[in-house]
Amino acid sequence: MKLDSKIPSGPLAEKWTKHKFNVKLVNPANKRKYEIIVVGTGLAGASAAASLAELGYNVKAFCFQDSPRRAHSIAAQGGINAAKNYQNDGDSVFRLFYDTIKGGDYRSREGNVFRLAEVSVNIIDQCVAQGVPFAREYGGLLANRSFGGAQVSRTFYARGQTGQQLLLGAYSALSRQVANGKVKLYPRTEMMDVVVVDGKARGIITRNLITGAIESHSAHAVLLCTGGYGNVFFLSTNAMGSNVTAAWRAHKKGAFFSNPCYTQIHPTCIPVSGDHQSKLTLMSESLRNDGRVWVPKTQEMAEKLRKKEIAPKDIKEEERDYYLETKYPSFGNLVPRDVASRNAKYVCDEGRGVNETGEAVFLDFRDAIKRDGEDAVRGKYGNLFDMYQQITGENPYQTPMKIYPAVHYTMGGLWVDYNLMTSVPGLYALGEANFSDHGANRLGASALMQGLADGYFVAPYTVGDYLANLPYEKIAEDHPEFKKAEDDVKARVKQLLTINGDKTVDHFHKKLGKIMWNHCGMARNAAGLTKAKEMIRSLKEEFWSNVKVLGTGEELNLSLEKAHRVADFLELGELMIDDALHRNESCGGHFRDEYQTPEGEALRDDENFAYVAAWEYQGDGKDEVLHKEELVFENVKLTQRSYK
Amino acid sequence: MNLTLKVWRQRNPSEKGGFKTYKISGISADMSFLEMLDVLNEDLSDKGEDPVHFDHDCREGICGMCSLYINGQPHGPHQTTTCQLHMRSFKDGDTITIEPWRANAFPIVKDLVVDRSSFDRIIQSGGYVSVNTGGVPDANEIPIPKVIADESFDAATCIGCGACVAACKNASAMLFVSAKISQLALLPQGKVEKRERAEKMVAQMDKEGFGACTNTGACSAECPKEIKLSNIARMNREYFSASLSTENV
């Protein structure tokens, strides 16, 4: 089967404009005859649901949280990129496009990425119009900062809470449509399956998390805006509830899953402190603008630090190794995330880590405070410093922060074409849930941009194009396919509740996380991956025979919710391993020990691997089939990424 | 450390709830409060008892999903969210009492989980600027003085957790409602609808059954995001000026 990305022909800069003209339109009076399901209410979901409802479609919006405002987009700290060139520093749509393609290590589509850069400017206008209080200069105009991996200042921000402010903007637009009666909200409701009738997505099955009721929802199109799958690692910066279930169930119903092995390990997170830890906390990448990353030059010195025999301030300037500044003079501490993370791992592997576990490096603000004063630093990062102190009990104004990489974002996701449609007609994936724009590595401040681009400015056009060819009649919710999907979900609930084993769900989740982190984390190799596959298979077997899920299916039952999610993570984990094992190259966040340059940088193999891997589900326990979408580069030249 | 927990347990809204006492040991000072509850729940599950249900999600202090009334204070002893509260704030041998938010407008769902959809309905009644996607002016076309933008931002940081309501003897939602009204009333984008917005949001707040303001300021003192009491004054001003004039001439 040949995957058709449906990238419009013609010059790069004209593709989207041309496509917008070519898409079919639905008559305004007919839009109300269509019903669209949006699953997830983060940036992608809330913006899509609101925008589609404004156009006149009837929308049902689902989220598992108690309110749409809680989706995990809210936790994004640093900012959102846009090619506004307000700073007159040489930015342009083409430069943002180029940086994003290069940052993704040439594993994303030119057409999609250019469109993303193109609509980025509209996003900022939209958010400001909604009342999003972005940071401003004294003259009243918008402020910008530079962000990891970019040499221009194109990042718009709202202190360290940009995601919160953007999500509350989208949530307010969504709320307005709820009041208008165009959106019906279903909070505390989890999607359990997609219903496919005659090859088209025609609805979903949900579980009401309060009552346990399994329900059918019929619609003309289904949009999955359900985020990433970083929690497969157990410890990540994702929210506790973030999961792959919606995307995975769609995958099992025929939607291809792309590049699952591309995971982003964020360099600046608070290090793990013990086994009790439930999640990791990110310290915004923006801190790298003013903080300097270092470890002691010698192992002996690091050991003394670990034993607390000396404090960081006792280490003299000439005994400090500012390894990013030395190794990458032009980008310094602002190298992209994958490069920063890998180098932190290298110095810690050399025994130069600075905390008790030996897995931490310093992020030091001493020089910034000396240069700009403590107040200026507080003005920029106050809330982040407070958060750090809250969690670690250390004051970062006086002693350097300790940071270590942690799983943060997943570039892989459901395969989509240019219209953001998956391989199942009528089923779309937006935001982090799809694979499309970040290649093998995402640049900082690009996730918010993509979520809102997909929701505000792409889906409203492309979904209409699909609906225009669809009859108004909905499939009845008592159609045999709905009935069958409902029965399958009920059977699975029952199965989980009757295993009655003696290990909790978290036990399995933690074990899976360890396997993934050790063998499919910051660096991977064939031997480790092969071993991990076996380990996951037996863990999965053990899960289905020995998990303990208490309570009933007809009430709020947190362990049952979690059991569903972990069961899906177990299956996804195996696919991630397969994907990582088959990709015999290193690129972006996927680093194979066997494939590196003499300097230890990722060594791509463009001849054999310049494609999108799209995996097709074959049935329980069977190896999935790989489809390849060749990546065509007409506007950029593939080079070895260099930040030196 | 070893602790005694007195936890509110209630199977569902209609059943009568009550405190249950649990002993818990091996708690490290580095754990967050919620991680301590995770340990309790693993213990309970191992024993075949139903785990304690509580709301939580991001565990970074920003989603607003976690709640808990800890030793008589919303989110516990510090002005932060429960997920950011760490066990180093407690001593070995302490007894900790954990209750859900108590307010008529936040009915209990189960154990420590409450229903805060009344907050969503208040936002739906007018907590937005009525613009559709597309067709908006360039972002830099409306300069906004930095002090105004910053003040608006301070109000906009509200996470909608409901601690203000839980802290108030009257279970008033005025701090929450006034934060949104302030954020938008301060900005030129939100000024157009500011009167109608104040009237509608206040009406919805009353309809949901939240109480009147006590003027004691407990809400602001307990707010994990330090939303200022002056927002309530601004809301009152907007509300009264709305009742004295009309935008629809």
**pLDDT digit string, tens, across residues A33-88:** 999 999 999 999 999 999 999 999 999 999 999 999 999 999 998 899 999 999 99
- Domain ranges within chain A, ordered by starting residue: 266-407, 480-605
Q: What would the pLDDT profile of A458-503 be if each residue is shown by its tens digit?
A: 999 999 999 999 999 999 999 999 999 999 999 999 999 999 999 9
Is the domain of B106 the same as that of B128? no
Q: What would the pLDDT profile of A508-524 be if each residue is shown by its tens digit?
A: 999 999 999 999 999 99
Establish if B249 belongs to a structural domain: no
Is the domain of B36 the same as that of B141? no
Is the domain of B57 the same as that of B35? yes
Q: pLDDT > 90: what percent of chain A?
A: 91
pTM for the full predicted model: 0.96
A288 a catalytic residue: no
Q: What is the mean pLDDT of residues A531-538?
A: 98
Greatest Cα-to-Cα distance within chain B, rounded to the nearest angstrom:
68
Q: Kindly report the average pLDDT of chain A as a whole number.
A: 95
Classify residue B203 as exposed, middle or buried by CB count within 10 Å of its CB (0-12, 13-18, 19+): middle
Q: Which fold has domain A266-407?
A: Flavocytochrome C3; Chain A, domain 1 (3.90.700)
B173 has a pLDDT exceeding 60: yes
Phi, psi of B128 (to 5 degrees): -160, 170
Beta carbons of A129 and B189 less than 8 Å apart: yes
Classify residue A133 as exposed, middle or buried by CB count within 10 Å of its CB (0-12, 13-18, 19+): buried
Instruction: Nearest by CB to A67, from B61, B80, B117: name it.
Output: B117
List all residues of chain B from 64 to 123 with a beta carbon under 8 Å from chain A: 64-65, 78, 80, 84, 86, 88, 109-110, 113, 115-117, 119-120, 123
Contacts of B183 in chain A (CB under 8 A): 131, 133
Instruction: Nearest by CB to B80, from A175, A390, A555: name it.
Output: A390
Q: Flag whether residue A134 sits within 8 Å of chain B, measured between CB atoms.
A: yes
Beta carbons of A134 and B149 less than 8 Å apart: yes
Establish if B54 belongs to a structural domain: yes
Domain A480-605 in CATH 1.10.1060.10: no
Q: How many domains does chain B have?
A: 2
A148 has a pLDDT exceeding 80: no
What local confidence, expressed as pLDDT, does residue A128 receive?
A: 98
What local confidence, expressed as pLDDT, does residue A213 receive?
A: 97
Is the domain of B196 the same as that of B140? yes
Q: Kindly report the average pLDDT of chain B as a whole number.
A: 96
CA distance A34 to A262: 36
Q: What is the nearest CA distance from B32 to chain A, expressed in angstroms?
A: 8
Instruction: Nearest by CB to B12, from A158, A165, A555: name it.
Output: A555
Instruction: Catalytic residue, from A109, A337, A592, A641: name it.
Output: A337
Q: What is the mean pLDDT of residues A12-37?
A: 97
Q: How far is CA B5 from CA A297, B20, B29, B96, in A?
A: 47, 8, 16, 5
Q: What would the pLDDT profile of A253-295 be if each residue is shown by its tens digit?
A: 999 999 999 999 999 999 998 888 899 998 888 899 899 999 9
Which stretch of DSSP H or E encloses residue B150?
helix B146-156
Question: Token pair of B47, please?
Answer: 């024993």
Q: What would the pLDDT profile of B107-132 be if each residue is shown by its tens digit?
A: 999 999 999 999 999 999 999 999 99
Q: Flag whether residue A125 sits within 8 Å of chain B, measured between CB atoms.
A: yes
- Listed in sequence order, the residues at least 6 apart from A117 whose beta carbon sits closer than 8 Å to its beta carbon are A83, A93, A94, A96, A97, A100
B249 has a pLDDT exceeding 60: no
Is the domain of B121 the same as that of B210? yes
Q: What would the pLDDT profile of A617-626 be if each residue is shown by its tens digit?
A: 999 989 999 9
Q: What is the mean pLDDT of residues A244-261?
A: 98
Substitution target in A63, A168, A284 with the highest count of B β-carbons within 10 Å is A168
Is the domain of B136 the same as that of B24? no
- For residue B204, give its domain range: 116-244
CA distance A219 to A535: 40
- DSSP secondary-structure letter at A614? E
Q: Domain containing B132 — which CATH number?
A: 1.10.1060.10
Greatest Cα-to-Cα distance within chain A, rounded to the nearest angstrom:
75
Among the candidates B93, B110, B127, a domain finishes at: B110
Is the domain of B83 the same as that of B125? no
Q: What would the pLDDT profile of A558-579 be if each residue is shown by its tens digit?
A: 999 999 999 999 999 999 999 9
Beta carbons of A70 and B45 less than 8 Å apart: no
- Residue B79 identity: Q
List all residues of chain B from 147 to 206 with a beta carbon under 8 Å from chain A: 149-150, 152-153, 156-157, 159-160, 183-184, 187, 189-190
What local confidence, expressed as pLDDT, does residue A316 receive?
A: 95
B134 φ/ψ sector (left φ>0, alpha ψ -120 to 50, else beta)? left
ipTM field: 0.98
Interchain CB contacts (distance < 8 Å): A and B: 211
Q: What is the mean pLDDT of residues B164-175?
A: 98
Phi, psi of B227 (to 5 degrees): -65, 130
CA distance B59 to A281: 8
Is the domain of B79 the same as that of B138? no
Positions of E strands within A298-338: 320-321
What local confidence, expressed as pLDDT, does residue B236 receive?
A: 96
Establish if B146 belongs to a structural domain: yes
Is the domain of B232 the same as that of B139? yes
Question: Token pair of A499, please?
Answer: 């295993």
Count, residues in chain A:
644
Q: What is the nearest CA distance from B168 to chain A, expressed in angstroms?
A: 22
What local confidence, expressed as pLDDT, does residue A147 receive?
A: 80
Is the domain of B195 the same as that of B179? yes
CA distance A44 to A38: 10
Q: What is the nearest CA distance from A554 to chain B, expressed in angstroms?
A: 11
Is the domain of B145 the same as that of B170? yes
Is the domain of B95 the same as that of B18? yes
Q: What is the nearest CA distance from B116 to chain A, expressed in angstroms?
A: 7
